[in-house]
Structure 1
Amino acid sequence: MAERSFRAELVGSFSKGAEGNPTVAMIEAAFRHHGLNWRYINCEVEPDNLGDAVKGARAMGWRGFNCSIPHKVAVIPHLDGLGESAAIIGAVNCAVARDGKFIGENTDGKGFLTSLRAVTDPAGRSVVMFGAGGAARAIGVELALAGARSITVVNRSPERGAPLVDLLNGKTKAKAELVIWNGTYAIPSGTGIVVNATSIGLGNGHVPLDIDVASLRPGMVVCDVIVDPPDTRFLRDAKARGCTVVDGLGMLVNQGVIGLKYWTGLDVDPASMRQALVEIFGR
């Protein structure tokens, strides 16, 4: 009788701190739901050891890994290639083993886009996006590649906002502009999609964005990347104004779904993954 193999396929996360823990719960929930003999391992990796960590993943035959801040850019020289949006964004949060090579992808924006498309198609729409950090960069690129007509980046710092606007104008077909956020911002009429891609509201669901709430209008789709808590003040204000809202849990779950598709080839059920996050963050 042939000997049965109990070897588990391995994927993991290279993080600094506890950032990967919710992802561990979410991904492991999907493995259990689908009866997969896979394991997701969160590894704390100091920046100076990142190259060795990637070599270790190769040596152990990992099918891929996630990267969190501060490794999303630094990992690129240790990979063998980049997907289209990861190359434009200039950051990687998901590496995939393909034909013996690690290829860097970015599922941050893709996860957001999948959530958004459940309620609206961004093609031809005007977008207002708050923030210009890593999440905003990924979301902005994916919205532009999906056909958004215009993207207004609202950010307090021109030093961070201008490079993102230049990237969108230079590498995509969307028209991007920067608005410096130095007071209460009124969302222009005609805006179809509004995105909070800042950390405002993280850990405190009562903190408002400095916007004119009356400028939120029925018909707008309002999105927040915050997952802790998912029911942010921004989304509550938008819902009260008759907007359609999209919370950060959907973005995180869909990142996981896309990453699992890259690694396993399977279309996994997102419900079990979202439930794992609900148990952590509520909603």
Structure 2
Amino acid sequence: MPKPKAAKGTKVTLKMAKKAVRMTPDGWHRLTLSNMGITIFPKCIFKLTNVEELDLSRNQIQKIPESIGKFLSLKRLDLHSNKLESVPESIGNLVGLTHLNLSNNFLTSAGLPPTLGLLTSLKSLNLGMNRLDGLPTTMVALEKLQELGLFDNLFISLPEFLKVLCNLTKVNVKRNPLSYVQDDGEGTLKEKSEPDKGGYLVHKSSMCRTCFRKCKEQRARHPKGGGGAGRIGGRGGGEEMRIKTYAGLVAPNSVATIDQDMWRIRKEEHVPNKLPKSC
């Protein structure tokens, strides 16, 4: 019997791509090709050298070409909810990237190249909803990184280099087989051998005096604590408080209006044809 033909995805032409470019309120050129049934990364878009934001989310793309490293104008790249298993080393050439979203794919730690550490302009990185249990140690060079999404992965411990990223104030590690962590009061994080109940890390420096005082008062009233993933540590012990959900990287990307759970692309799962709920 002849093999069944694979379903053909949408073919993006340069003409289509040009028509899809819009100007953002910030004055940047944004190319949105989201949810179009694209299976192969459209290389024709590399000719649009003025594009600074690229959204290819919610497609069926399995591979990012090495030529992505030539798209030097990019500031924001969104590839969430595809079928990516790896990231090419050439992504390290995109030194102007400030926001990178690779959530809801099939990425493993082996599929993340050490060249991610070359993205020194990166402020926001979303790697949630993948199959990661570690990160490249070269990412210690991401000194400007402020937001990191690691939720719904396989981490059993946090990468050590997170302790030295001084601008990293928002990390979402919810739904990992991870022991929760606490701040030692000096801006560093320590793991605790207690069950994970969702992880939200916060540096002491990111709290106002009022919130920190309330945290200490709550700890004084409940010395045994009530559990929770966010902790603020003092010199004499571990004051704790539950940190509110960090919404910045809970949704797949900052412009998405669709609940991320509706876009979990898994072979064994099929989303019914219903209107998704808004975030």
TM-score by length of 2: 0.30
Select the structure of larger CA radius of gyration: 2
User: Relative CO higher for 1 or 2, CA cutoff 8 Å, sep ≥ 6?
Assistant: 1
More strand by percentage: 1
More helix by percentage: 1
